[in-house]
Chain A
Amino acid sequence: MIERCKAFRAELSERLSGKSHEAPDLFWHKHLLACTSCRSLLEAEHALEALLASLPEPMLPPDLAHRVLARLERDRSQPVNQSLDALLELDAVHASPVGLQARVLQGLQGEREQVRLDRLLDAVPQPEVPTGLAERILEGLEGERSPHWRERLGRRSLQLLAAAGLLFIVAVAWSSFGLENRPRFVGEELGLAPEFAVEEELLASLDVLENWDILVGEDLDLLLAEIDPVEESLLEMTEEGDDD
């Protein structure tokens, strides 16, 4: 017997003995659906209860009272009779309440109907899974889960091609734009010999050389022309004190 059956039966025992009154939980119902043995056991218990409930109420023989009283009449002289009277009074107190049986049977009516419904459900044939269905489904999904080798190869090729292309472009950019070591002279970019580098440097400095007289301050007016109109407006402002 597996552990779940043990747990189910322990819970069933508690319910039958009246120790547990809580509504059955999900485990209870799931196990009942899954386990035929426990389901049969529960049905048997329900059937037993229904049977017990359907039995006539135990009754004393109708003349028993007369016989007991006659017997007691005979033994009235004995001291023990007094205690017997007390016992008989107690017996009267513990008599079954009127209508108890009807109420119990009524309470069990719902249970009986549930048992009948369970039987009907059991009579419905269980759907049978064709043999090998799972394998066939997994086989059908195989293409989606792991692409065909051609597709895999195609994807890998695309990635390799993209990486190679990027590598090539970076290499071209590196060599053509001088990302590795920026040449000191313009001529070095063109792969010229060092003696040409001086010439190229001269060309690159033409802006400086052509404006040499301005830059080194040889011509005062040209030097002063570096001041822009905003600075000129500062010069024109009258001074009354420092900003800072």
Chain B
Amino acid sequence: MTTDRRRFLRVWMVALGLLLTTQGLFALRQLDLEGLRAKWSRKSAAERELLRERFEQLRSMEPGLRAQLSERARGIRKAQEEILAEAPDGLRQELNSLGVDERERRERRYLRERTREWGQRVRMALPDRFVQALREAPPRERLEMFDRFRQEQRRRKSLKAIMALAEEMEMGPAEVRRLREVPVEERMGVLRRLRRRHLEREARGGRLPGMTPAEWSRLESLSDEAFFGRMRGRKLPPLKPKGHRHGEDEGPPPPE
């Protein structure tokens, strides 16, 4: 085969790859739209009316806020997928036995229950005065207060949490000092990685109740985001400030 023919074939292979990729992506988008249409068609009239009202409110918002809502909605959707992935076998069997409409409603109810449980647990960890202030604030203001609180927590405590884990996770003091200068989001990424490694170590040592080595192996391939999505329903050992090691002055964490 001459060089020209080989070059020609190579160009065509690349071109075909490009075509198949774009067509595949286009098909996926169409499929997604068809799925959304079907989902809409399964809604009751009352549900549709409610969703239309919400949609009008959404359209009246400024683009920046709409984009922010979409981003958060994507995060919630991912978290819901992880909750469903961790659903007990009994629920799975139940879902599989249902029709599409009923299955969607059951899934939605289950997700709400688990999300509410997790929210209640988070509420217990918040200062009472802050919870009271949130309750009393109108929804829009409540969102802003909540967002400011989260940012402040991350800013004030992320480095301390890293220091609590650093020694145990063999991170040098120089690296910890460097993290003081990086943006909070980057620091949170480091904290997630360290916390995950810490939890894995605890689980392998048998210090994480309700987790078998087989279950941990199943979680190994997940991203950090998905991993902590699966951890939402579990009782995890708390982070202790430096010098205070888990197990030194207390027993294992209580069972879930």
Q: Are B72 and A226 in contact (CB under 8 A)?
A: yes
Q: Are B73 and A215 in contact (CB under 8 A)?
A: yes
Q: Are B139 and A234 in contact (CB under 8 A)?
A: no
A96 to B119, CA, bound (A): 131
Additional A-B contacts beyond A225-B232, A228-B232, A244-B180 (7; CB < 8 A): A158-B4, A177-B26, A204-B33, A207-B70, A214-B115, A235-B125, A237-B238
Interface-facing stretch out of A67-75, A124-132, A168-176: A168-176
Q: Which of A209, A229, A233 meets B51, CB within 8 Å?
A: A209
Q: CB-CB < 8 A to A217: which residues of B?
A: 139-140, 142-143, 146
Q: Are B19 and A172 in contact (CB under 8 A)?
A: yes
Q: Are A228 and B12 in contact (CB under 8 A)?
A: no
Interface-facing stretch out of B90-98, B154-162, B201-209: B154-162
Query: Closest approach, in angstroms, between the C-beta of B190 and any C-beta of chain A?
Result: 11
Is B212 an interface residue when CB atoms closer than 8 A count as contact?
no
Q: Are B120 and A221 in contact (CB under 8 A)?
A: yes
Q: Are A208 and B58 in contact (CB under 8 A)?
A: yes
Is A240 an interface residue when CB atoms closer than 8 A count as contact?
yes
A17 to B126, CA, bound (A): 115
Q: CB-CB < 8 A to B73: which residues of A?
A: 207-208, 211, 215
Q: Which of A155, A212, A230 meets B54, CB within 8 Å?
A: A212
Is A24 an interface residue when CB atoms closer than 8 A count as contact?
no
Q: Are B188 and A232 in contact (CB under 8 A)?
A: no
Query: Closest approach, in angstroms, between the C-beta of B66 and any C-beta of chain A?
Result: 8
14 residue pairs A–B, Cβ–Cβ below 8 Å: A158-B5, A173-B22, A202-B51, A207-B70, A220-B123, A222-B119, A225-B119, A226-B76, A230-B192, A234-B161, A236-B238, A243-B160, A243-B180, A244-B155
Interface-facing stretch out of B36-44, B167-175, B214-222: B36-44
Residues A223 and B119 in contact in the complex (CB < 8 Å), given A158-B4, A218-B139: yes
Query: Closest approach, in angstroms, between the C-beta of A65 and any C-beta of chain B?
Result: 96
Main SS of the interface on chain A? helix
A207 to B22, CA, bound (A): 25
Residues A203 and B142 in contact in the complex (CB < 8 Å), given A161-B8, A208-B73, A220-B134: no
Give the interface size bracket for B toward A: 35 or more
Per CB-CB distance, the 10 closest pairs between chain A and chain B, nearest first, are: A221-B119, A225-B119, A243-B159, A173-B22, A224-B119, A235-B125, A203-B36, A217-B139, A217-B142, A217-B143
Is B211 an interface residue when CB atoms closer than 8 A count as contact?
no
Is B84 an interface residue when CB atoms closer than 8 A count as contact?
no
Q: Are A244 and B153 in contact (CB under 8 A)?
A: no
Q: How many residues of A contact B (CB 8 A)?
A: 58
Q: CB-CB < 8 A to A233: which residues of B?
A: 161, 195, 236, 238-239
> Considering the complex, which residues of chain B in the window 35-75 have a beta carbon less than 8 Å from any beta carbon of chain A?
36-37, 39-40, 51-52, 54-55, 58, 69-70, 72-75
Q: Are A206 and B51 in contact (CB under 8 A)?
A: yes
Q: Are B239 and A186 in contact (CB under 8 A)?
A: no
**Nearest CB in chain A to that of B76: its residue:** A211
A residues with CB within 8 A of B? 155, 158-159, 161-162, 165-166, 169-170, 172-173, 176-177, 186, 189-190, 200, 202-212, 214-240, 242-244
A214 to B126, CA, bound (A): 18
Query: Closest approach, in angstroms, between the C-beta of B54 and any C-beta of chain A?
Result: 5
A169 to B19, CA, bound (A): 6
Q: Are B154 and A223 in contact (CB under 8 A)?
A: no
Q: Are A228 and B229 in contact (CB under 8 A)?
A: yes
A155 to B131, CA, bound (A): 76
A235 to B161, CA, bound (A): 10
Is B245 an interface residue when CB atoms closer than 8 A count as contact?
no
Q: CB-CB < 8 A to B238: which residues of A?
A: 233, 236-237
Q: Which of B116, B119, B120, B153 meets A234, CB within 8 Å?
A: B153
**Nearest CB in chain A to that of B25: its residue:** A177
Q: Are A230 and B228 in contact (CB under 8 A)?
A: yes
Q: Are B22 and A176 in contact (CB under 8 A)?
A: yes
Q: CB-CB < 8 A to A216: which residues of B?
A: 69, 139-140, 143
Is B103 an interface residue when CB atoms closer than 8 A count as contact?
no
